[in-house]
Amino acid sequence: MLEAPKELILPKFDSQLANGSSMGWSFRGGGTSMVTGLADPLGVVRVLSRMLADAEQFGLRVRYSSDFEEFGKTRLAARGDRVSPMFDPSVSQLEGRAFWIGAFEPGGRAISLEAFRLDIVEPNLAEWVLGWMAGLYIKRKELILPSAIQPPAHSRSWIVKGPLAYHGELWTERTFKKREWFDLFSRFGMLIAFDKWQPEALWALTSKAAAMHGYVARSGYAHQERGFLQWEWEPAGADSIEWLVIAERNHLEFLIAEEYARVKLA
C-alpha cells in the first residue's frame, strides 16, 4: 500500500461528480502554472472522470502517487528490473515535480504503469536532452555513449523549450489483452500531467516498433520523428535509434476536445 499522504485514489472523483458535490483538483507538490490556463477545465474533469469509469469497466483500480520509492518496488515486482534514472529518487530530484500512475487488479497485481516529471528546458530540448540524460546515468554509474551529439537540424526539439513534462515508464502487462485500455491509460496520464502543470509540451522517447505500429498516435502524441537520439551504447531497454514523440499545448487541447465530444455522445 502506498503512503496515504502521497497517494490519491482517483476513483473518488467519479463518486463526487455523481453526487453533484464540488470538487477541486488538489495534487500534492509542484503546483499548477496558470500562465495560459486550460481552454476547457470542466471538460478535462469530465473526460478524466469518464476514463476512470472505463477503467472500472476493465476491472481495474487506478492510483496516483508521488512516492517513487514505492514506484521502484512496484516496477521491480511487475517487470523484474530497475526503474530508469529519470525516475530513480536516488539520482533524481523528484519531490514536487513528478508523479506516477498505476492500474491494478483487485488482488493488487500491477497491469499498467507510467510516470511523468516536469523540467525547465533551456535553451531548447535538442541542446538540453543529452546532458540531462548522461548526467543521470553517470550518477547511477551506468555508461551510455551517443553516436550523434545533437538531433537532426529539422527536429522539432530545436523549437520546444520551457516547462516540459517527460513521459516515461509506460508499460502494460502483456497478458492483459485489451488494446483499448493501453490507448486510454496513456491519454489519461497525459491529461493529468497537462492539467497539473500546464507545460508547453509533453515529450517521450519510443522505439521504432511502437512508432510504426501506430501505438504513438493512438496514445495521444501528435508528432513523432525518427533519430532524435542515436546511441553507440544505448541505455538499458532502449533502441540504438530512438524516436521522439511530442504533444504540444494545442495538441493536448485538441485531445481534450476530442475526448469530451465522445463523453457527450455516450
Cell for 34?
Answer: 496558470
List helix spans (H) across 65-112: 68-79
Domains of the chain, each with CATH number or no CATH? 4-20+38-265 (3.40.630.30)
Centre a 10 Å sphere on the Cβ of residue 105 and count the other Cβ atoms it contains. Answer: 14
Question: Please, which pLDDT band fits residue 15 given cuts at 50, 70 and 90?
Answer: very low
The residue that leads in pLDDT, 65 or 143, is 65
Pairing relationship of beta strands 201-206 and 162-172 according to DSSP bridges: parallel
Least confident span in 83-92, 107-116, 158-167, 237-246: 237-246
Please name every residue paired with 113 in a beta bridge, in sequence order, or none if there are none.
102, 171
Cell for 229?
Answer: 537520439
What lies within 8 Å, CB to CB, of 28 at 6+ separation is 5, 6, 8, 66
Pairing relationship of beta strands 145-146 and 223-233 according to DSSP bridges: antiparallel
Cell for 260?
Answer: 469530451
Pairing relationship of beta strands 241-248 and 223-233 according to DSSP bridges: antiparallel
Question: Please, which pLDDT band fits residue 35 given cuts at 50, 70 and 90?
Answer: low
Q: How far is CA 19 from the centre of its chain?
A: 30
Least confident span in 19-28, 65-74, 240-249: 19-28
pLDDT score, position 215: 82
pLDDT score, position 6: 38
CA quadruple 136, 137, 141, 143: dihedral sign: negative
- The pTM assigned to this predicted structure is 0.85
Question: Please, which pLDDT band fits residue 10 given cuts at 50, 70 and 90?
Answer: very low
The residue that leads in pLDDT, 25 or 63, is 63
Q: How far apart are the first and last CA of the chain?
A: 34
Tell me: the pLDDT tens digits for 186-226?
999 999 999 999 999 999 999 988 888 888 888 889 999 99
What is the average per-residue pLDDT within 118-123? 98
Burial class from Cβ neighbours inside 10 Å (0-12, 13-18, 19+) for residue 183 reads middle
